[in-house]
Structure 1
Amino acid sequence: MACIELPKVKPGRDKPGVMPLDLEMDLKSNMEDSDWFLRKLCGRAADTGLDLNSYGLTAVDVKETASILPLLSDLEELDVSWNDFARGALHMLTQQMHPVNKLKVLRLSSCRLTTEDVQTLGGALEMTPELEELSLSWNSQVGGKLPRVLHTFQQGSKIRTLELVDCALTSQDGVFVGHLLPKLQSLQVFDLSNNRNIGSCLEVIAQGLRSASGLKELKLRSCGLSQKSIRLLDGVFASLDVLRILDLSCNKELGGGFEDVPAQLASLKHLEVLDLHQCSLTAGDVTSLTQIIPLLSNLEELDLSSNRDVGGSSENLLCRLRFLPALKSLLINSCALQSEAFAALADASVYLPALEILNLSWNKCVGGNLELLQQTLHLSRLLRVLRLSSCSLVTEDVVLLASVIQSGHLATLQKLDLSYNDGICDAGWAILCQNLCFLKELTELDISLRPSSSQDCGQWFSHLLCAVTQLPVITEIEMRRWVIPALQERELDCFTQDHQREIRFDHGGFQRAAL
């Protein structure tokens, strides 16, 4: 789909664009003097998409955009997300949508919709029978008024994507959604995240989901789900046999829900993403998931992070991750892993050839034991992100890491996070920095100290600057709370003057930019 993508600048600062003669004549019949903004919009009115996302629109801009909608009869995609409209000006836009009856995509996320906007939006949607994607996320005024907005969605609706993230939905809205779902036979992406009242009406929603057999993405992050919610959803999973993404994260009352009845979760044979982070998973949950997760053979992303009870009971689960050869992303940070669990993970990770992202941060047992991951780091051909923040790493750990880097086995690494590991001596940092030059694809490096710490840089800082000159795509180096002595400060100043690439140094409580 062709799309007009305007530069993210304040209207009125560029030269007028060229517009077709017929459109210019139509425009002049409506407005005697069209400003830059309006002429720019009309300049490519033949395209089927108009992207004004994060454009800083004012009420005047919205009014002018609305005035040309009758000229854009072939418009299929309209995105005005992340614009703080003044005094609820969006209703001026929706009131002019009747000629745009071919619209397939309408994105209105974070537009601060007012009550008036919401009232007119329902009428506008009546004029868009071809609509396939609607995003109203981050508009709190939608809450309590959802039936008024979506009442036009009837049996046979073409909606494929419906996003209602953080809309302050009420339990009555949730009930309405539950009854609406059977009418949305084309629905593929459904996101109700960050609506805390959804959990109280999940029984109705779950009943509606039984009819959504084509659903590929279901996101219920931070929806007030409970143990009972898992039982309700388990009865739905057998109907969602093409589901690719399941996000149940940030539901802290969910813990214990997997202990007894999640048998149907294993039926999601096409599942690629499973996000259970910050769900207060219990040891019983982990026992049940140990039987289920290894059966999800197409799983590419698994997030179990921020579940502290996982740490002492997950060795069997982590050991069986070897049966997930397609796994690309494994996030198990802040799980209080015990030594046995970390050893089991290290053994299994050798059998994960597709791994691209590994986050073990805030697991103290990694410190002094990084050698357990040595074979994995040697075999990882695709690893792009490695996060080992606050892992109590010692000098021997970074020396080992430097050896792996020098041998060329982490050539694809783009982001390396070693922050909050204050137990590494200057010699260790020096050896690491001397070998960073082998990470030719590295874009971000974080070696910050803990917030309560402050320490002078040693001679290793000179090695770091030398390495940076050989890293062609590095853009960001976080080294907060490291104090750079005067000599190294002059080296940094020289580096700033001599190199033309934009590299952001963040250290000592302030930022330095090398331009």
Structure 2
Amino acid sequence: MSRTEKKSSSDEETTPQAPLVNESIRGSKSRFPKAGSRKESIDPKTTDSQSQNKIPKTISDLAKTLTSETELGSRMEENEWFLQKLGRKAVNKCLDLNNCRLTAADVREMVALLPSLPDLEKLDISWNDVIGGNLHVFTQQMHLVSKLKILRLGSCRLTAEDVRALGEALKVLPELEELNLSWNSKVGGNLPLILQTLQEGSKIQTLEFVDCSLTSEDGVFVGQLLPRLQNLEVLDLSINRNIGGSLNSIAHGLKSTSNLKVLKLHSCGLSQKSVKLLDAAFRYLRELRTLDLSCNKELGGGFEDTAGLATLEHLEGLDLHQCSLTADDVLSLTEASIHLPALKIVNLSWNKCIGGNLKLLLETLKRSMSLQVLRLSSCSLVTEDVALLASVIQTGHLARLQKLDLSYNDSICEAGWTIFCQNLWLLKELTELDISLRPSTFRKCGQWFRHLLSAVTKLPKITEIGMKRWLLSASQEEELQGFDQDQRSSIHFDHGGFQ
């Protein structure tokens, strides 16, 4: 997987030009005595006995004080120069150097910053390859930032030695709430060395180990660790294909994490049996907001006769794209989803069984009054499916929908697109619509295109319309140009170039 692909799939997540560093860099300047104030501070007539105890008693003591302050001021200037060199700025209690192309010398300079950052709470040095093999330079000084709450080391090419050093260093971070080691393959097989210091009462809230080559043994360890992490809110083990073999242990541990809000097991080799195990754990996860089980192709059939999902009354996001769902799975999910009033995001893309069976989701579409994002890309939808969707729109059940993805459904005929576009204007909250065709398919736009333009003029919030590989006639191109000039230039038609 390329570096670009990894970035797009990680949440999170990294912004190369995000502002950075810590209030202590700026705030420490206020601790320096101002010119003209030193005489006043050593005047016995204007100080009490408590302040007199702080006055240097000899010229030598005074010289040492001045030297110390001069060195601190010099260090402040060096710190500011270092950050300016990297194009970063000072931000409250945060040092963000992600994707800065750090050199080994930069790492040493960063470590030199630590004594002046005693109140540092967030450190992000992700996407810097040079960290691999050099992390020990930092971990040896980690005690200087013992108030650290967030530590992100994603895609740093950590070595096995780095991982072991990190495990030891975490002992001096009692306030740690978030740890992200995603995209570091050497974490796999060594996870116990990193997390063994986490004890009962740990403040950890977020653990992210995406694509870390975790082993089945790592998975067993995670399952045993979870009962100690009563404050855990986010657990992301995505793209670790061996995790599926230890899901029994993980599911058992999840029963003790009642505060969990986000669970991501995308592409983890889950099976039908895995769903049954997770279903038993769902009853204990009453605070869960986001559930991602996507890209587990052996999972199909696992949702039949499951009831635990219906207990997740606070669930807002459900992602089951590319899971080879069966019609019975979809039916079972619809018995479940009617009990999920908070559901805002549903992604069922790349599940072919939905084609011709959208009626199975009818109750979900009608009762999910909070639904904001619906993704049904590459679901083999047919004309009858979009006609049904249009009728649901017409009755006002999807009034809050903001993003609708119907792309890669090439079997919908012109009549289907026409009735859909005729009712599209009722989605007043819609901001994004995608009806693009597959990369291998090109088709001419029918008369429905005129209905699409008409609907868009009545959608106050729409900004993006994806319709790649739809071919416009000369007259339709003129209509679109006239539309663009008619004070609607804020709407982007993503067609990739009409032919």
| Selected match of 1:304 from 342, 348, 369 | 348
User: Which of these residues, 443, 446, 451, is aligned with residue 466 of structure 2?
Assistant: 446
1:20 to 29, 49, 61: 29
1:6 & 1:404 partners in 2: Cα distance? 38
Q: Does 1:270 align with 2:270?
A: no
SS in 1 for 2:227: helix
Aligned partner of 1:478 in structure 2 is: 494
Is residue 362 from structure 1 mapped to residue 406 from structure 2 by the alignment? Answer: no
What is aligned with 2:41? Answer: none
Distance 1:402 1:288 in 2: 30
Task: Give yes or no for contact 2:405–2:435 (8 Å, CA) kept in 1.
Answer: yes
Aligned partner (choices 421, 431, 440) of residue 414 of structure 1: 431
When Rg is computed on C-alpha atoms for both structures, the one with the higher figure is 2
Q: For residues 117-167 of structure 1, what are the alpha-carbon distances to aligned partners after superposition, in whole Å with 9 as ceiling and x for unaligned?
A: 222211221111011111111111111111111121112211111111111
Q: Which moved more, 1:83-92 or 1:130-139?
A: 83-92
Question: For the structure 1 residues 26 and 7, does the alpha-carbon distance in structure 2 shift closer, same or farther, using more than 3 Å as the test?
Answer: farther
Q: Deviations over 1:106-127 (max 9, x none)?
A: 1112222222322221122111
Distance 1:303 1:235, change over 3 A: same
Query: Residues 61 and 465 of structure 1: is their aligned pair in 2 closer, same or farther, counting only changes over 3 Å?
Result: farther
Deviations 1:378-422 (A, max 9, x none): 4344332232324334444454455446xx534432222222285
The partner residue of 1:389 within 377, 397, 407 is 407
* Amino acid across the alignment from 2:316: E
User: Is 2:193 the counterpart of 1:155?
Assistant: no
Kindly provide the CA deviation profile for residues 189-237 of structure 1, in whole angstroms up to 9, marking residues without a partner as x.
Answer: 1111111111112222223222222222222222122222223223323
Structure 2 counterpart SS, 1:221: coil
- The alpha-carbon distance between structure 1 residues 86 and 235, as it changes in their structure 2 partners (threshold 3 A), is closer
Structure 1 unaligned residues grouped into runs of 5+: 12-16, 312-334, 484-515
| Conserved? CA contact 1:434–1:467, under 8 Å | no
**Structure with greater contact order relative to length (CA < 8 Å, sep ≥ 6):** 2
- Go from structure 1 to structure 2 and tell me whether the alpha carbon gap of 1:100 and 1:462 turns closer, same or farther (over 3 Å shift): same
Matched-pair contact (CA < 8 Å) for 1:107–1:134: yes
The letter of the residue matching 2:349 is: S
Q: Structure 2: how far apart are the matches of 1:435 and 1:371?
A: 16
Distance 1:66 1:285 in 2: 53
Query: What is the distance in 1 between the residues matched to 2:15 and 2:385?
Result: 51
In the aligned structure 2, how far is the partner of 1:374 from the partner of 1:110? Answer: 44
Say whether 1:171 aligns with 2:216: yes
1:342 aligns with 2:342: no
Alignment-derived partner of residue 461 in structure 1: 477
Aligned to 1:316: none
The answer for the alignment partner of 1:498 in structure 2 is: none
Measure how far apart 1:104 and its partner are. 1.0
- Tell me if the contact between 1:160 and 1:188 (Cα under 8 Å) persists in the aligned partners: yes
Is this contact kept in 1: 2:164–2:194, CA < 8 A? yes
The answer to whether the 8 A contact 1:79-1:106 is kept is yes
Task: State which of 153, 178, 187 in structure 1 corresponds to 2:232.
Answer: 187
CA–CA separation in structure 2 for the residues paired with 1:478 and 1:22 = 55
Describe the shift of the 1:377–1:64 C-alpha distance in structure 2 as closer, same or farther (beyond 3 A).
same
SS in 1 for 2:346: strand
Query: Residues of 2 paired with 1:256 and 1:399: CA distance?
Result: 34
In structure 2, distance between residues paired with 1:210 and 1:151: 20
Q: CA-to-partner distance for each residue in 1:172-192, whole Å, 9 max, x for gaps?
A: 212222221121121121111
Cα drift, residue 460 of structure 1: 1.5
Asked if 1 retains the 8 angstrom alpha-carbon contact of 2:346 and 2:373, the reply is no
Stretch of structure 1 that moved more, 249-258 or 136-145: 249-258
**Secondary structure of the equivalent of 1:477?**
strand
Q: 1:213 aligns to what SS in structure 2?
A: coil
Contact 2:348–2:376 (Cα < 8 Å) also in 1: no
Q: Which amino acid aligns with 2:102?
A: L
CA distance in 2, matches of 1:462, 1:52: 48
Rounded to whole Å, the distance in 2 between the matches of 1:46 and 1:101 is 19
Contact kept? 2:345, 2:374, Cα under 8 Å: no
- Counterpart of 1:317 in structure 2 is none
State which drifts further: 275-284 or 97-106. 275-284
Q: What amino acid is aligned across from residue 473 of structure 1 in structure 2?
A: S
Retained in 1: the 8 A contact 2:16–2:98? Answer: no
Paired residue secondary structure (1:416): strand
Q: Distance in 2 between matches of 1:239 and 1:21?
A: 50
Structure 2 match to 1:250:
295
Shift of the alpha carbon at 1:471? 2.3
The CA deviation at 1:256 is 2.9
8 Å contact from structure 2 (residues 349, 377) kept in 1: no
Aligned residue for 2:55?
A: none
C-alpha RMSD of the superposition: 3.6
User: Does the Cα contact within 8 Å between 1:390 and 1:419 map onto a contact in 2?
Assistant: yes
1:123 to 127, 150, 168: 168
1:295 counterpart SS class: coil
Aligned residues of 2:205 and 2:233 also touching (Cα < 8 A): yes
Distance 1:135 1:173, change over 3 A: same
Give the Cα separation in 2 of the matches to 1:43 and 1:394: 53
Corresponding letter in the other structure for 1:471:
R
CA distance in 2, matches of 1:200, 1:101: 37
Please say if 1:221 is aligned against 2:272: no
Specify whether residues 87 and 128 from structure 1 end up closer, same or farther in structure 2 by C-alpha distance, changes over 3 A only: closer
Moved more, 206-215 or 433-442: 433-442
Read off the aligned partner of 1:50 and give its amino acid letter.
Answer: L
Q: 1:146 aligns with which of 187, 191, 195?
A: 191
- 3-state SS in 1 of match to 2:404: strand
- In the TM superposition, 1:25-44 aligns within 5 A as 25-26=70-71, 36-38=81-83
Q: Structure 1 length normalisation: TM-score? A: 0.74
- Within 5 A, what are the aligned runs for 1:368-383? 370-378=386-394, 379=396, 380-383=398-401
In structure 2, the CA distance between the partners of 1:292 and 1:104, relative to structure 1 (3 Å rule), is same
Change beyond 3 A, Cα 1:39–1:360:
closer
Partner of 1:328: none
CA contact 2:343–2:370 (8 Å) conserved in 1: no
Cα distance in 1 for residues equivalent to 2:328 and 2:384: 30
Tell me, which stretches of 5 or more residues in structure 2 are unaligned?
1-13, 21-25, 33-68
CA contact (8 A) 2:444 2:473 kept: no
User: Structure 1 residue 99 and structure 2 residue 144: aligned?
Assistant: yes
Contact 1:426 1:460 (C-alpha < 8 Å) held by counterparts:
no
| 2:179 pairs with one of 126, 134, 152 | 134
1:76 corresponds to which residue?
A: 121
User: Offset of 1:39 from its aligned partner?
Assistant: 5.9
Work out whether residues 356 and 384 of structure 1, in 8 Å CA contact, stay in contact via their aligned partners in 2. yes
Q: Does 1:279 align with 2:295?
A: no
